[in-house]
Amino acid sequence: MISFSTSWADGDISRLDDVLPHLDSIEVGSRGTAKFFKRIERLALDKTIAVRSIHASAGPHKELHDPSYTRNFASRDSGKRRNDIDDVLRTAQWAEKIGAENIVLHAGVIADETLQSAFLEYRKRFILGEEETELSALKAEIIRMRSAHKMHLDIVADGLERLCRSFPDINFCFETRLHYHQIPTPDEAAHLFARISLPNLFYWHDIGHTYALDRLGFAGQSEWQSRFGESCGGIHVHDAETCLKDHLPPGRGSMDLARILGEFDAALPYTLEIHPRHTTEEVISGITSIYECCVAGMERGQSLSG
């Protein structure tokens, strides 16, 4: 099923008019204010379009236009952490009203400025073409610093468990992240799934994010599916260039989308998450491309199984 993130509309409901006829459903992105989300609510209640997922935090309770991505979900500051969890709970309440079955959320970030700066420096030098041998010492130090942070996992698990128990009919899906200092890594995801034995906890696979961390050498792109395939709730689809510029319409980057998507269950929602800078024509072309990729991926899977 092809879905589409409203984040591309950047809070302007009129941008969706030419795109909706090409889609099966939408994901409500976090960009926009109460007025925008109330218009989305009307579309959903009128059955104009189905809402399959919501990227927390979003909904009529949201006041600021800029995205709210639960940055403090893993914070040691209990007040900040509680605000993020409460925002997701309000999003889940709205999801029940408009018929969305999935909440996609970011599980937080490690608030270590030294780690963050080191990773971003490594990323910049990699993009500029520095040899891997020259970056190996910095990479090893980044991994060492990252492994020192354990406490945040219990904090994240407590928050996810509260969400799952509060809304048992909603799937809560933590997203694969773009940066190595963001949560979780695949090993951390294994810990979360082991700690929380609830049927409505899933992960959401962003193929552009996992492509970037694979290219940078921190986690293999296929590792998430090989380890947690049965716990995948959906996919964020966008293309990316070798320089790691992402959120491109499918067909405008260098990723082998047919091969990648062929590894996933075709029944999952494939949600296009495109940057607002791209035109309506580029988006519609990307939607067509992703349909073709899905067909090619399924045919490839059938060929391999045969």
- 49 Cβ contact partners less than 8 Å away, ≥ 6 residues apart: 20, 23, 25, 26, 43
Mean pLDDT of 1-15: 93
> What one-character DSSP code corresponds to residue 17?
T
For the chain, percent of residues with pLDDT exceeding 90: 79
3 neighbors 270 (Cβ within 8 angstroms): yes
> What secondary structure does DSSP assign to 239-271, as a single string?
B--TT----BPTTSSS--HHHHHTTS-TTS-EE
The first and second tokens of residue 211, run together, are 């492509």
Q: 């007040």: which residue's tokens?
A: 79
Q: What is the CA 124 to chain-centroid distance, rounded?
A: 22
Instruction: Identify the helix (H) or strand (E) that includes residue 213.
Output: helix 207-216
Give the SS3 label for residue 206. Answer: strand
Q: Can you tell me the distance from the alpha carbon of 93 to that of 66, in angstroms, rounded to the nearest whole number?
A: 21
Residues in the chain: 306
pLDDT at 301 over 60: no
Biggest CA pair distance of the chain: 58
Q: Can you tell me the distance from the alpha carbon of 131 to that of 143, in angstroms, rounded to the nearest whole number?
A: 18
Question: Would you state the pLDDT for residue 299?
Answer: 54
Q: Within a 13 Å sphere around the CA of 164, how many CA atoms are in the beta-carbon half?
A: 21
Supply φ then ψ for residue 113, to 5 degrees. Answer: -65, -30
Question: Would you state the pLDDT for residue 302?
Answer: 44
How does the average pLDDT of the chain come out, rounded? Answer: 92
Q: Which residues pair with 4 in a beta bridge?
A: 26, 272
Q: What is the CA 268 to chain-centroid distance, rounded?
A: 14
The pLDDT tens digits of the residues spanning 45-100 come to 999 999 999 999 999 998 888 877 888 899 989 999 999 999 999 999 999 999 99
Q: 């391999």: which residue's tokens?
A: 304
| pTM (predicted TM-score) | 0.93
The first and second tokens of residue 220, run together, are 């293999």
For the chain, percent of residues with pLDDT exceeding 70: 96
Using CB atoms within 10 A of its CB, is residue 70 exposed (0-12), middle (13-18) or buried (19+)?
Answer: buried
The pLDDT tens digits of the residues spanning 272-294 come to 999 999 999 999 999 998 888 76
The pLDDT tens digits of the residues spanning 130-189 come to 988 899 999 999 999 999 887 789 999 999 999 999 999 999 999 999 999 999 999 999
The first and second tokens of residue 69, run together, are 């991505």
pLDDT at 263 over 70: yes
Q: Can you tell me the distance from the alpha carbon of 181 to that of 108, in angstroms, rounded to the nearest whole number?
A: 9
The first and second tokens of residue 242, run together, are 């070798």
Cα three-residue angle 92-95-100, rounded to 5 degrees: 130
Using pLDDT thresholds of 50, 70 and 90, give the confidence band for residue 295: low
The pLDDT tens digits of the residues spanning 213-258 come to 999 999 999 999 999 999 999 999 999 998 999 999 999 999 999 8
219 neighbors 210 (Cβ within 8 angstroms): yes
pLDDT at 195 over 90: yes
Cis status, amide bond into 184, omega within 30 of 0: yes
Give the SS3 label for residue 52. Answer: strand
Question: Would you state the pLDDT for residue 152?
Answer: 85
